[in-house]
Structure 1
Amino acid sequence: MSLGKFLVRRILQGIFVIWGAITIMFGLRAVSPGDPASLMLAEGATQELIEQVRREEGLDQPIYVQYFDYLQGIVTGDFGYSWQSNREVEAMVIERIPATVELAVAATIVAVAIAIPLGVISATRRNQPSDYGATLFSLLGISTPNFWLGLMLILVLGVWTGVFPTGRRPVGLGEAAMTFAQTGSPGDLFTWLRYITLPALTLGTYFTALITRLTRSGMIDELGKPYVTASRAKGLPNVLVRYKHVLRNTMIPIITVLGLQMGTLMGGAVITETVFNWPGLGLRLIDALDTRDWPLMQGIILFIAVAFVVINIVVDALYSYLNPQVRE
């Protein structure tokens, strides 16, 4: 199968997944208890006013009519208005995207910086204390709930020692970078770094454990192949063989997992953002759930679904380019 046909098939599958997410969210709204018109108004609104809102919002129409109207709005870029703030949903989603992306990227950097060295050490020193330590770390990382780890980091590194702040960040990465470019002062960058450290460690812990185990298994598999023996027989240093050849061949599946996990991190940052009051999509989603703001919830879930699908398609395209056998 050609690369073009492969991408077309993956895009069609992605569109189907996005449509499924939209349909499920709309179905949940339809079966949820309560009158949406009442949620849009203040407590104590008259029945006449509630009926007027129902007519204006099309809530008095059959459910299938509401569904197709909602699909038409999404296709045309109209995601509706928040029931609580009366703001455009797309604007409320877009303004929170940078914070979520910053946290996901920072968590990925933390995971890679810790996991790959641990995986290499564990693979090259099998059945030694360092290998057991890396394995134990992976087990703890996968088993530890993110919310508990976040609270412990806040307690130890925030409250007891005061090394890192625990509240909402005062400046974003874009603002800090712009200030640095204009004034040459790195103060805002350091402030942003201090605020993102604990959330990135919390979100990246599970990811770190996964990449450590993947690196270890990949390295062990590569170390047993004939080209490694031939390279050592030629007198190449072990460090050169280990990092230039073995680790390089191991990185292909790791890069694939990194790309796929980026989508997972963006969707899975809800708990971490809530614990650290991080102003991203996850925290806004929790606020929307508390107020039953369905248009806002649908907009956030739709963005996460689209981001996940796009990341998966890009990773599949890169991987199929590097390894054409996956297209078969």
Structure 2
Amino acid sequence: MSQARFLIRRSLQGLLVVWGVITLVFLLRFITPGSPVDFVAPLDASPELRAQIAINLGLHQPIYVQYFDYLFGLVRGDMGFSYIRGRPASGIILSRLPATIELAVAATIVAIIFSIPLGVLSATRRHEPTDYAATTFSLVGISTPNFWLGIMLILIVSVGLGILPTSRRPIGLIPALEMLIFQLQISGIRTWIAHMILPAVTLGTYFTAMIVRLTRSGMLDELGQPYVKAARAKGLPETLVTYKHALRNTMIPIITVLGLQLGSLIGGAVITEFVFNWPGLGTLVIDAIVVRDWPIIQGALIVIGIGFVVINIAVDALYTKLNPRVSYE
């Protein structure tokens, strides 16, 4: 099977998954106690006013009519209207999405920079102090809750030492890059980096610890394979054997976990965003749940689901690039 046919097939499968996510998210509103009318109508609203609000929200129609109207609206890019905020839900969600993507990608970069070298060193220096230090770090990193780590970093680094800011980014990455490119000012990118470090480290610590363990176990398995012994017998440098051959064959499970965890970071950065008052999807969903702003809740969950599907398709496409023995079948 060619790569194009594979991507088309996986895209069709992804569309089915997205459709399932949309259906579940839509039904979630009907199985959750309470009504959106309760949060839109005044406390002293009359039954007539409540009925009119229900009509404006489309809640008076049968559930199947609401479902197909919602599907057709999504096809047009319409996620509904947030009566709580007085704005279309799609605009609100898309305005918050870049902050979450920036945080998730930054946390992933932090994890890759530290985890893979630590995992390789731990495997090549087995039962040495480096190995013990790496495995101890991975154990501590996996066991440490994100919210506690974030609070400790704020107290020590920001409040105690006064090195980095505590919360909320005043500028996004794109505006900072525009200032750098068009105005030759580094203040924007410097501010963005300063506000990004603590949240990225907080969110990426668990991720880093997990990849360290995965890299170490994969490298130990690959370093014992016959092709590694043959490469060493040919006199190839140990660095070439370790990084070009053994690490390359270890990367497939690592890439899989990286893709899955990147999707998880996009959807699961709620606690970290809350601790650092980060203006992303996580804090938006929390605020929307408190006031039962269903268009925002549904739209954000659908965007997160689409992100998972796209990332998984990209990961599958990378497999054959890393290891030609992997077939598209």
TM bucket normalised to smaller: over 0.9
CA deviation map 1:44-63 (0-9, x unaligned): 33322211111222211222
Shift of 1:37: 2.1
> What TM-score, normalized by structure 2, do the two folds share?
0.93
Relative to structure 2, which stretch is displaced further, 152-161 or 34-43? 34-43
> What TM-score, normalized by structure 1, do the two folds share?
0.94
Rounded Cα–Cα distance in structure 1 between residues aligned with 2:326 and 2:175 = 44
Give the 5 Å matches for 1:89-104.
Answer: 89-104=89-104
Rounded Cα–Cα distance in structure 2 between residues aligned with 1:161 and 1:7 = 50
Match of residue 111 from structure 2: 111
Question: Does structure 1 residue 268 correspond to structure 2 residue 268?
Answer: yes
CA deviation map 1:55-79 (0-9, x unaligned): 2222112222222221221122221
Match of residue 50 from structure 2: 50
CA contact (8 A) 1:3 1:320 kept: no
Number of positions where the alignment pairs a residue of Structure 1 with one of Structure 2: 328
Match of residue 309 from structure 1: 309
Amino acid at match of 1:178: E
Match of residue 11 from structure 2: 11
Question: Does structure 1 residue 189 correspond to structure 2 residue 189?
Answer: yes
Shift of 1:102: 0.7
Match of residue 65 from structure 2: 65
Rounded Cα–Cα distance in structure 2 between residues aligned with 1:59 and 1:266 = 31
CA deviation map 1:227-280 (0-9, x unaligned): 322332333332232223322332333233222321111111111111101111
Over the aligned positions, Cα root-mean-square deviation in angstroms equals 1.8
SS at 1:96 equivalent:
helix
Match of residue 120 from structure 1: 120
Shift of 1:100: 0.8
Question: Kindly, what percent of the aligned residue pairs are identical?
Answer: 59
Relative to structure 2, which stretch is displaced further, 102-111 or 221-230? 221-230
What are the ranges of 5 or more consecutive residues in structure 2 without an aligned counterpart?
Answer: none
Amino acid at match of 2:252: I
Shift of 1:306: 0.5
Match of residue 295 from structure 2: 295
Give the 5 Å matches for 1:173-252.
Answer: 173-252=173-252
Rounded Cα–Cα distance in structure 2 between residues aligned with 1:2 and 1:168 = 46
Shift of 1:324: 5.9
CA contact (8 A) 2:319 2:326 kept: no
Rounded Cα–Cα distance in structure 2 between residues aligned with 1:42 and 1:326 = 60
Rounded Cα–Cα distance in structure 1 between residues aligned with 2:326 and 2:249 = 16
Rounded Cα–Cα distance in structure 1 between residues aligned with 2:191 and 2:75 = 40
What are the ranges of 5 or more consecutive residues in structure 1 without an aligned counterpart?
Answer: none
Rounded Cα–Cα distance in structure 1 between residues aligned with 2:290 and 2:327 = 44
